[in-house]
Amino acid sequence: MTLVVEPSPEPSAPAAPPLSDLVARDAREFGVYARTGGWAFALMVARSVRPGGQAAGESPKVSAKEFAELAGCSPERVMRHYRAWDRAADDGLVPHFETLEPGQETDLPDADVWLSYYVSRNSATSERGTAIAQAAEAEGIRPTKALEVAENPTALRAAILADPSTAHAARAALLDRVREDPGLQAELARDVVRTDDLKKAVATESRAADRIGYVRQIAESGRIRTPAGQTVEAPADLREEAERHLSLIDELEDGEDTGEWATEAYDTMRSLVAETVEADPELRVQERRTRFYSSLQKATRAFEELTFDDAQDYYEDDMVRRLEELQQAIGTCLSALRGAGAHHSHG
């Protein structure tokens, strides 16, 4: 007799508990928000709040104030969603208010464009906020980011104090702003002159800039200005030396101190200019002649400015003594020049 053993049935998996309608509803609503972001809430406002100018009896919709009371939030929050929908409707992303009825569904834009239309701050509607938003758009960032920074000056200050890169960004922005804001220019200038360290730093940078300008002028124009003030053509090797120094300065990294490089270039070029003058007899003579006339003109101007109408009020014997000494010096000069003139005419 053969026994047949019946295989025992596989234990069945426990039946899943019935899905709660509440859980399913939450999941669906979560999915809508995940896909559309604030658009889901804006749709509720758009289809339930009547547009401005529409009378209460013309539609089952309610005012923004009534909707806010029912929602338990502020009318301002409701209107921010309302305006976001209005802007999107103008761009053709969503239907206009007038075409929507309470409870009506419609396709919604993606969540990632929500912040381009929704502004969470009242300041955005002010003249200041509008200007900030426009500047943010020009820089390619979301207006909400710029408005958030503008509304937290203490946080901005902390970031500038703690982070060099933030400080550099703030400096660059301030320089861009100061070019178009005379009032800010004046305020910054006052701050600089009232701060000893800044005043010294500005003087140092100004001196370096002047010296670099001296070298650049030689390199670019090919002309030199002598110590006496003459302007003449620069020798080729002198101009090449100026170009070499200038290229070294131009290759410095942004923010790198140019003071030492500027001083070396300036001193080198001044020495070369002096050597150029001394190496050219005709130029050397002209240089001395120019220097003489310059000194004579300064002395003449100084004497022309003197007045003696009230000399009795400030007279001192020492004045006469010094003028007599000066008169003797002038006499010596005249004798030397007359002698040189006689020698020149005989030559």
| Tokens 């000893």 sit on residue | 196
Q: What is the pLDDT of residues 11-28, one digit of tens each?
A: 555 666 677 788 888 888
Question: CA 164 → CA 148, 179, 197, 204, 308, distances in Å?
Answer: 21, 23, 19, 22, 63
* Residue 187 confidence (pLDDT): 92
Q: What count of other Cβ atoms lies within 10 Å of the Cβ of residue 58?
A: 8
Average pLDDT over residues 82-104: 90
How many percent of the chain have pLDDT more than 90? 31
What are the beta bridge partners of residue 49?
62
pLDDT surpassing 70 at residue 48:
yes
Collect all residues with Cβ–Cβ distance below 8 Å to 99 and sequence separation of at least 6: none
Q: What is the pLDDT of residues 305-339, one digit of tens each?
A: 888 888 888 889 999 999 999 999 999 999 988 88
pLDDT surpassing 60 at residue 8:
no
pLDDT surpassing 80 at residue 137:
no
Helices (H), the chain: 21-36, 39-48, 64-71, 75-90, 127-139, 143-150, 153-162, 164-178, 182-193, 196-221, 236-250, 259-279, 281-304, 311-314, 317-346
pLDDT surpassing 70 at residue 344:
no
Weakest-pLDDT range from 58-72, 110-124, 178-192: 110-124
| Tokens 């200007």 sit on residue | 131
pLDDT surpassing 50 at residue 172:
yes
Average pLDDT over residues 254-262: 83
pLDDT confidence bin for 208, thresholds 50/70/90: very high
State residue 26 phi and psi, 5-degree precision: -60, -40
